[in-house]
Structure 1
Amino acid sequence: MTAPHQAAAQSVPAEASAPAGDLEEIIVTGTRISGFTAPTPMTSLSAVQLQDKAVSTVADMLLEVPQLRINQNIGKSSEPIGASNADLRGLGTQRTLVLMNGNRVGITDPAGTIDTNIIPVALIKNVDIVTGGASAAYGSDAVAGVVNFVLDKDFEGAKADISYGSTEHDDFRRPDVNFALGHGFADNKVHIEVAGDFMHNSGESSQASRSWGANGTVQLTNPAYTKTNGQPRLLIVDHGTYSQMTAGGVVGLSGGTNTLALSLANKLGFAPGTGVQFGSDGKPTPFQYGTNIGATFMQGGGGGSAINDGNLLPEIDRKSGYGRISYQLADNITLFADMLYSQVHANSDLAPNPDVGTITIRNDNAFLDPSVKAAMASLKLASIPFGRLNYEDGNSEFRTVTKTRRWTFGAEGSFGRNWNWSVTGQLGRNTYDEFADNNRISQRWTYGLDSVINPATGQAICRVKLANPNPTAAQDPYGDIRSCVPINPFGAGSISQQALGYYLGTSTITADMHQDVYAANISGSPFSTWAGPLSVAAGAEYRIEKTVQTSDANSVLSRWRSINGQPFSGEYNVKEAYSEVVVPLAEDMTLAHKLELNASGRYTEYSTSGGVWAWKFGGNYEPIEDVRFRGTVSRDIRAPNNYELFSQGNQVINAIIDPRTNVARQTTQITGGNPNLLPEEADTYSVGVVFKPRWLDGFHASLDYYNIEIKNAISTVAAQDIVNFCFNGQSVFCSGVIQTGGIITRVNIIPFNANSQRAAGEDFEAEYSFPLTLLNNDGDVQLRVLANHADTLTTTANGVSNDYVGLAGISPPPAGVPEWRVNVDANYSFDKWRLGVGYRYISGGKFDTRFNLTTLDIANNDISGIGYWDANVSYRLNENLTIYGSVENLTDEAPPITPNGIVQPTIANSPFFDNRGRFWVLGVRARM
């Protein structure tokens, strides 16, 4: 991105525009060569633009870029809570290279992604985004592009920014403080700067705090569906309740129907059509069924529900510190070192441990009411299915702590007339800790529930303990039998504290990620041609990536109900060498104001998979000074990371629909690595035009078409797709579908090299700055438009292609992108005021783009687009103080309703649409 001693680019090129007024010259490039405007499209966000939006996190900043998909997990237990990952083109976060000051940022979680929350906002000078393949220039992983956070390395003085934000619902309370200090010493030969950030977001743990989230909306299977009656397989309905769970327990479904429960209720003398649940005293009472009864949800009825308590966003705390020192050793040599420390805490919760009709209650259970025992005997039932939402357990709490430590050191300088060089070393030591509180040891839960009356004492005892009161260490290696406490599941609040202490605990995952990078670069011009200097750059890099994940003993043995992170370790090294050349071919000629070609190549050798080439050819052609045509074609690369290669399994529980019966059940899904993965290669081309007319001062615009096709794309097939493919004749997928008694109990997911993955579309950018006098005030207007139109986002695997453009609901891999995203900003600066208004449009699409195309269908698959209005204002009190405010989602637009299939569904499941509602920020900036 920004090269050492780089010559200044034009202050407002189409691909790197700054607000009018040009408070500070912005230097950006998509090449390693100084003073050259690369043919690769680029977008830049300046410090002034970031201040206008009153952003406090990098994720907030990147929402302003339509080409980026921001992935933030709001509470799925299998992913880093609260992490915000940059994802260009929707091709996956691992295919977007993240840099800080032109150097790699190390991964922050064992899955190999980078939480952009770690970047300190206080010193961000601008954010440069290369929106096309850049592996030849910047290295492996830049398949979709590069995001470079450029910090101010020469900051002088002191500044601070203090703000407070909240929604009108008085949640998402967000105090934010950041500061920076910088000063030169010894005739400016030594420069020191430090910066710090603190941000807290209280989050919101109840989606029912919003009117759109208070209706108990669920996705459920349609029990009336058949393959021939024309009814949809899936429904989205309000007033959802659990069909097999209440706080006190309920007799569950058997074989997908409530026939057994109805028969038992009849024997107990309950009204026809009712089932059996248990009151606070453990006595059976009628259970009222609703309509559209599925394995997890039904519409209406008397089932319990924790749906309204689904998270909007988790609680996040961020603290970061940054320091840099540079020393001018000689006129043309500078030594430097910097250090970044960041710590991000995130907390989220899910529903208490659920049992969706999966408990088996035997007819001699110690706590079972005698009337139910008699009814079971009459029906000759040895056992009944039973479901319960175990509020006594407390919410399933998930906490993550991400710590980043990054040291960079090196030297840079120049020699001769125009040669620049740099050598850099970088050490990254990141840790990721995950805690799942109120998790449940499955074996202990099973033992405790199966209780009987001890004939010697007349008291309840675990059946397994009665049968084996003195087990050997081999029979009871974890003390489950010796310490077993009977569990009474009948009635709300019936589980004792002693029982809770027996089966509840905290599962943990700890991962250490090491990244060492050593690089050397040189650039300059060996000679000139008739059209100008020929420029070259070359360099080499050596990198080590290491991940070691450990977990608690119970996780290692997969004893917990959820998570069960497995230990793994992986390490690889990468050796890279590159060269780049710019050849000018014409200058100030008729119909050739400028013509130049750009070529680069990089050889990368992975210790895990061998060598691979990346290359790029591009060119700029200006027939006249006002118009520039640009184009590139490139080969970009990415090798599998340690997690994709070596991970031993991560667990999540989610709804899986059995296509044979159209019954959805909460099913364990296990994701692991694949050591046989090969590097993926992407062929990318882009063509575009930049228009900057001399007769319209302050205006420029660009339009680019991009096409990225990845071969051997490292992909995972969504669990539901694995099941569908298996039972649709593609037997290769059936090894991943585990069944017990004809019921799907687990789906195994591993990454593989797909046939291809493709993204294509158009980017548009325009900016116009001009003076304007209003009410006798001379001022300046700045207008900016950024837009992305996604034509294609497809994955082809095993002969099956899916297009994810317009996918707004569920999030299978890869996640979908809207067809259109448009951001429009207008600002007016006069006297001491700066006023701004913005409009963001996200087009609608489909709940799932695969629906209505296959046997999977839904009643209404259409999602409407939404536009958001934002506003901002600032007033300069004096030279040192500015007060400001902003409002996002001014009209309080509600998000589209797109529930996912977990027990406590996220009702607004798309990351593109705002679920906070109207959000305001007030703050003050000080500068000295």
Structure 2
Amino acid sequence: MTATRASVPRCRQPARSSGLVTHPSGSRKQQGTHNVKAILKKAALRSATCLTAAAVLASTNAYAQDGTNSPDEADAGEAIVVTGSRIVRRNLDSAAPVAVVDSEEFALSGAVNVESVINNLPQVIPGTTSFSNNPGGGVATLNLRGLGEERTMVLVNGRRWMFYDANQVVDLNTIPSFLIESVDVVTGGASAVYGSDALAGVVNFRLKNVQGVEAGGQYGLTGEGDGQRLEAYVAMGSEFADGRGHATVFAEYYKRKSVFASARKFSENVNWDDYEGGIIPGGSSTTPDGRFTSVLGSDDCPTGNVFCSPGGYYETPGSARPRVGTDLYNYGPVNYLMVPQERYLMGGYADYEFADGHSAYTEVTFVNNRVANELAATPVTGTYNINIANVSPFISAADVAAMNQLDTDADGIVRMAVQRRVTETGARNSLDERNAFRALIGVKGEITSNLNYDAYYMYSRTRNSNIQAGNISRSAFQAGLDGSADAINIFGPNTLTPDMVDQISILAQNGDSSSLQVASGVISGSLFNTGMSSEDIGFAIGAEYRKVSSEFIPDTALASGDVIGFNAGEPTAGSYNVKEVFAELRLPLVNNTPGIYRLEATAAARYSDYSLGAVGGVWAYAGGLEYAPIPDVTFRGQYQRAVRAPNVQELFGGASVGFPGATDPCDGGVTDPEDRTATLEALCLATGVPAGSLWSEDIQLNTQIQGTFGGNSALNEETSDSWTAGAVFRPTFLPGFSATVDWYNIKVKDAIGTFGGGLNNALDLCYNVFQDVSSPYCQVFVGARNANGQFDGEVLPSFLNANTGGLEVEGVDFEVTYVQAVGTGLFSEDARVSFNLLGNYTISNIYTPVADNPEVTYDCAGKFGILACGNPTPEWKWTSRLTWMDGPVTTSLRWRHLGSVRDDDPSTEYAVEKLKAYDLFDLTLGFDVTETFGLTMGINNLFDKQPPTMGDNQEQTNTYPGVYDVLGRDFFISGRVAF
């Protein structure tokens, strides 16, 4: 799988060892009693100028230009541990397909944060990124195959990394990118080898040992002169105790400035569909002017009263007029397009051979990460009691009379649906400060000449402090209207005085803490030789214990739901543990016989006993086969059964408020007249839309609909079945060329998710699919509408987590690599050119939201949209790089391609139904200035390609910012010195 890199003349490549080598933790193994310290010392010595050396996405099949094209020949004598297995082996192939990203890709792409490179891989659908502001959270997550961040396992040096919250998801910001040697991406479930969470696959970040001192920095700037990024780091490493030990310590500082949506033309206004084939400026109906609507139904509200639907609008302070559809607030410009970040990262890892063949090792990492999210000023919505006498000084006599007309019981109180954007408080800002700590200690070594052991204990903890500014107290807001406190004037723009702002404002904060403990031990080695193969049977057997704990602690205001602005939520706390035993077997069946160059089988199994009663004991297992009829061709296939237990948030999460994007099928501006069937009309009426408001364009107040979401302690585990089959081609007649093609199919059953697939999908299931008010997907909306049929936030539809129908992805990965010497160049006599193409074709990406109705499915291959698919999932996606290596100068061009996609909602005709194919080109120049100093500079998005924009079917900022480039042309320069 993993391969040697194409050699680059100006880089001192590590020497090959004849002993057993693993990546750091730094631990070194010896074969037999042979001391390989001297060889390993040479292997650690490599020039820092390799930063700009090999400009290739390291291929699973890219081999050095030495005339060797066979993995067995290229790596003869070296035993390694390949991601996806715990058994050491002497060839680089495996039954499971693996894509490898080498360290040079991080340098050549100007990537400081890991997400910048990983999200460009064809196997990845972007998760939360630096462009995720609403929702955000200040993290970067990894979503392999689009199956969800929680189904992708992230390892560092082959061991679990720390996660950042109760969802047990890893924040990629905590991984030091400047120390990454390579990243292995394993397709398909890997629970049998690594345990729960690996349904989509495993991504393993390998960190390198440092010898001497390496220091560097990078500065980045967009073509618009904003979005500045600054990084500085230093790493020091050395052997000690006469070469029996090695230690590496490191530190990094990183700061990224924000970019507001107002800084780009495509995002300076909120886009809306006008449902006549175009896009118009839109926004929120909750404006700084204020909108007041009687809760009396359209049949009961007095004719001519300014506060009857669509409500009274205070464009002129104190004097209402009827609200019209263009009375909107453009909230877009004041949102972050790219969120700011400041990070301090430090740590180290070391190993020490305390006895011949026995080493102790340790890893320690600390990260302080500060990221802010900023949204438009708080929109206050809901139904409130208004004391007419209390507010009469702020409004006209005509408005006082209109309110009195609505006071049907003559108690001086009128009840109204209120919408008011409180711009006087300024924007809403949420500051997350996360402190993450991870410590690991272990011991490994030889039991006999052919048996090894490895045991370790790891503890990690992440604590987050979240401070929210710009929130409004719902109770104080109500008190300022009903006469129980000093009156507040919300009847027009900028009418709140500083004292009134202080009266209703509230500073909210919350904290959360997550911890992971792992104790693991494994014995591995070889058993015997069958006589049919030159290699012995390999095995690994071991046990593991894990404990996961998380808690979310909101302050009183957030827990009670009194906060308006950011999402309120109840406390969350919970933990569970799991005890596991596992085993692997590698069977070299036959090799070097006519028609069978190599035939090998693998098997793995793991039994997990969870403390969760609904899960209990579960099995994961896998089997694979490799067959090479000749050295040039290898066929491979694998089956894996994987499991994922529900995480703490899914199990124990308290109810929290969310604002997902959604479309109400009962709104006249959403559903076309020809689709307004009698059945749909009856269903809208049955779920709370009054007859007089049916098909009104004021049914849906905003593009988001508020709901409550929470955990479910009765959840069962998820299971997945993964199949892969493919071929590896390394023709001996064409040195330097390799190609792979692999088919995969992953089916997830009982997938854990929000009931009904989320609020918007539940709306579709209720009104367009089942169309039965007694359906549970309709019952969640009954009683959630006000007297005008609107979801106004007073009574929220509630959605708990559930084991839903399932997920299925199918596709083909392919990779082509070619490295060729071209002779004399401008700066050397050994110039070389390299080409790499890593791509994916998605056949299907199916989501089944309903467990008891498998016929209700959404195929997201080649789709995007707010109905079910979310981020675009193009059928075709690839990344390719062409590099010229000429002595001290490297020139590299990268091409990133996303295929076209269509909207996922057949029942709605959006203004933008198709997003065209999207291509970006990046140019990098690298220079070895001296033997110890390297310089790299580059331009990403060379031609300033703008993102596709759309109206209602967007994620945020009128596009999908995690998928398409929202910054435009971007420059970076970096330097690295080693001594």
Q: Same fold (TM over 0.5)?
A: yes
What is the aligned counterpart of 1:841 among 886, 897, 902? 897
Equivalent in the alignment of 1:895: 947
User: How far off its partner does 1:418 sit?
Assistant: 2.6
Equivalent in the alignment of 1:731: 775
Equivalent in the alignment of 2:279: 237
Comparing 361-370 and 570-579, the one that deviates more: 361-370
- In structure 2, relative to structure 1, the CA distance for the partners of 1:924 and 1:74 (3 Å cut) is closer
After superposition, what is the alpha-carbon deviation per residue over 1:622-643, rounded to whole angstroms, capped at 9, x for unaligned?
Answer: 0110000000011011010111
Question: In 2, Cα distance between the equivalents of 1:519 and 1:216?
Answer: 52
Equivalent in the alignment of 2:50: none
What is the aligned counterpart of 1:545 among 545, 548, 565? 548
Once the two structures are superposed, the pairs formed by residues 89-238 of structure 1 within 5 Å of their partners are 89-152=145-208, 154-205=209-260, 207-219=261-273, 237-238=279-280
> Structure 1 residue 41 and structure 2 residue 41: aligned?
no
Question: In 2, Cα distance between the equivalents of 1:660 and 1:377?
Answer: 29
Question: In 1, Cα distance between the equivalents of 2:939 and 2:57?
Answer: 27
- In structure 2, relative to structure 1, the CA distance for the partners of 1:256 and 1:803 (3 Å cut) is farther
Question: Structure 1 stretches of 5 or more lacking a match?
Answer: 223-230, 268-272, 294-300, 451-461, 466-483
Counterpart residue identity of residue 644, structure 1 = E
Once the two structures are superposed, the pairs formed by residues 816-831 of structure 1 within 5 Å of their partners are 817-831=873-887
Over the matched positions of the two proteins, sequence identity in percent amounts to 26
Question: In 2, Cα distance between the equivalents of 1:177 and 1:261?
Answer: 68
- In structure 2, relative to structure 1, the CA distance for the partners of 1:884 and 1:811 (3 Å cut) is farther
Question: In 1, Cα distance between the equivalents of 2:157 and 2:61?
Answer: 16
1:74 and 1:81 in contact (8 A); partners too: no
- 3-state DSSP of counterpart to 1:86: coil
Counterpart residue identity of residue 439, structure 1 = N
- 3-state DSSP of counterpart to 1:69: coil
> Structure 1 residue 677 and structure 2 residue 731: aligned?
no
User: How far off its partner does 1:315 sit?
Assistant: 0.8
Question: In 1, Cα distance between the equivalents of 2:868 and 2:174?
Answer: 27
Question: In 2, Cα distance between the equivalents of 1:671 and 1:587?
Answer: 57
User: How far off its partner does 1:508 sit?
Assistant: 2.1
Question: Structure 2 stretches of 5 or more lacking a match?
Answer: 3-21, 32-39, 44-55, 69-73, 409-413, 669-698
What is the aligned counterpart of 2:667 among 647, 661, 667? 661
Counterpart residue identity of residue 259, structure 2 = E
User: How far off its partner does 1:313 sit?
Assistant: 1.7
- 3-state DSSP of counterpart to 2:259: coil
Question: In 1, Cα distance between the equivalents of 2:61 and 2:562?
Answer: 53
What is the aligned counterpart of 1:57 among 96, 113, 116? 113
Question: In 1, Cα distance between the equivalents of 2:63 and 2:968?
Answer: 29
Equivalent in the alignment of 1:703: 741
Equivalent in the alignment of 2:969: 918
Counterpart residue identity of residue 542, structure 2 = G
User: How far off its partner does 1:617 sit?
Assistant: 0.6
1:900 and 1:909 in contact (8 A); partners too: no
Equivalent in the alignment of 1:521: 522
Equivalent in the alignment of 1:486: 487
Question: In 2, Cα distance between the equivalents of 1:44 and 1:368?
Answer: 66
User: How far off its partner does 1:144 sit?
Assistant: 0.7
Question: In 1, Cα distance between the equivalents of 2:941 and 2:634?
Answer: 37
Question: In 1, Cα distance between the equivalents of 2:167 and 2:638?
Answer: 32
> Structure 1 residue 345 and structure 2 residue 370: aligned?
yes
- 3-state DSSP of counterpart to 2:862: coil
User: How far off its partner does 1:503 sit?
Assistant: 1.9
User: How far off its partner does 1:260 sit?
Assistant: 8.6
User: How far off its partner does 1:811 sit?
Assistant: 7.6
Question: In 2, Cα distance between the equivalents of 1:519 and 1:258?
Answer: 69
- 3-state DSSP of counterpart to 2:741: strand
- 3-state DSSP of counterpart to 1:72: coil
2:639 and 2:724 in contact (8 A); partners too: yes
User: How far off its partner does 1:731 sit?
Assistant: 0.8
- In structure 2, relative to structure 1, the CA distance for the partners of 1:656 and 1:260 (3 Å cut) is farther
- In structure 2, relative to structure 1, the CA distance for the partners of 1:513 and 1:79 (3 Å cut) is farther
1:363 and 1:376 in contact (8 A); partners too: no
2:133 and 2:338 in contact (8 A); partners too: no
What is the aligned counterpart of 2:349 among 320, 324, 331? 324
Comparing 907-916 and 91-100, the one that deviates more: 907-916
After superposition, what is the alpha-carbon deviation per residue over 1:245-289, rounded to whole angstroms, capped at 9, x for unaligned?
Answer: 44333455989999999946799xxxxx99964357x34376784
Comparing 14-23 and 89-98, the one that deviates more: 14-23
Question: In 2, Cα distance between the equivalents of 1:650 and 1:236?
Answer: 36
Equivalent in the alignment of 1:284: 319
- 3-state DSSP of counterpart to 1:212: helix
- 3-state DSSP of counterpart to 2:499: helix
- In structure 2, relative to structure 1, the CA distance for the partners of 1:74 and 1:410 (3 Å cut) is closer
- In structure 2, relative to structure 1, the CA distance for the partners of 1:261 and 1:499 (3 Å cut) is farther
Equivalent in the alignment of 1:449: 481
- In structure 2, relative to structure 1, the CA distance for the partners of 1:32 and 1:361 (3 Å cut) is same
Comparing 30-39 and 420-429, the one that deviates more: 30-39
Counterpart residue identity of residue 181, structure 2 = K
Equivalent in the alignment of 1:565: 569
Counterpart residue identity of residue 332, structure 1 = G
Question: In 1, Cα distance between the equivalents of 2:126 and 2:248?
Answer: 30
- In structure 2, relative to structure 1, the CA distance for the partners of 1:255 and 1:913 (3 Å cut) is farther
User: How far off its partner does 1:492 sit?
Assistant: 2.5
User: How far off its partner does 1:726 sit?
Assistant: 3.0
Which structure has the highest strand share of the two? Answer: 1
- In structure 2, relative to structure 1, the CA distance for the partners of 1:80 and 1:404 (3 Å cut) is farther
Counterpart residue identity of residue 510, structure 1 = G
TM-score by length of 2: 0.82
- In structure 2, relative to structure 1, the CA distance for the partners of 1:434 and 1:52 (3 Å cut) is same
- In structure 2, relative to structure 1, the CA distance for the partners of 1:395 and 1:432 (3 Å cut) is same
- 3-state DSSP of counterpart to 1:838: strand
Counterpart residue identity of residue 718, structure 1 = G
> Structure 1 residue 248 and structure 2 residue 289: aligned?
yes
- 3-state DSSP of counterpart to 2:96: coil
- 3-state DSSP of counterpart to 1:68: coil
1:845 and 1:862 in contact (8 A); partners too: yes
> Structure 1 residue 579 and structure 2 residue 571: aligned?
no
- In structure 2, relative to structure 1, the CA distance for the partners of 1:419 and 1:27 (3 Å cut) is closer
User: How far off its partner does 1:435 sit?
Assistant: 2.3
2:28 and 2:359 in contact (8 A); partners too: no
Equivalent in the alignment of 1:453: none
Question: In 2, Cα distance between the equivalents of 1:788 and 1:552?
Answer: 46
2:439 and 2:459 in contact (8 A); partners too: yes
2:737 and 2:819 in contact (8 A); partners too: yes
After superposition, what is the alpha-carbon deviation per residue over 1:557-592, rounded to whole angstroms, capped at 9, x for unaligned?
Answer: 121124222112111111111111111121111111
Equivalent in the alignment of 2:801: 751
Equivalent in the alignment of 1:432: 464
Question: In 2, Cα distance between the equivalents of 1:284 and 1:495?
Answer: 16
> Structure 1 residue 369 and structure 2 residue 370: aligned?
no
TM-score by length of 1: 0.87
- 3-state DSSP of counterpart to 1:808: strand
Counterpart residue identity of residue 147, structure 1 = V
2:842 and 2:875 in contact (8 A); partners too: yes
1:16 and 1:43 in contact (8 A); partners too: no
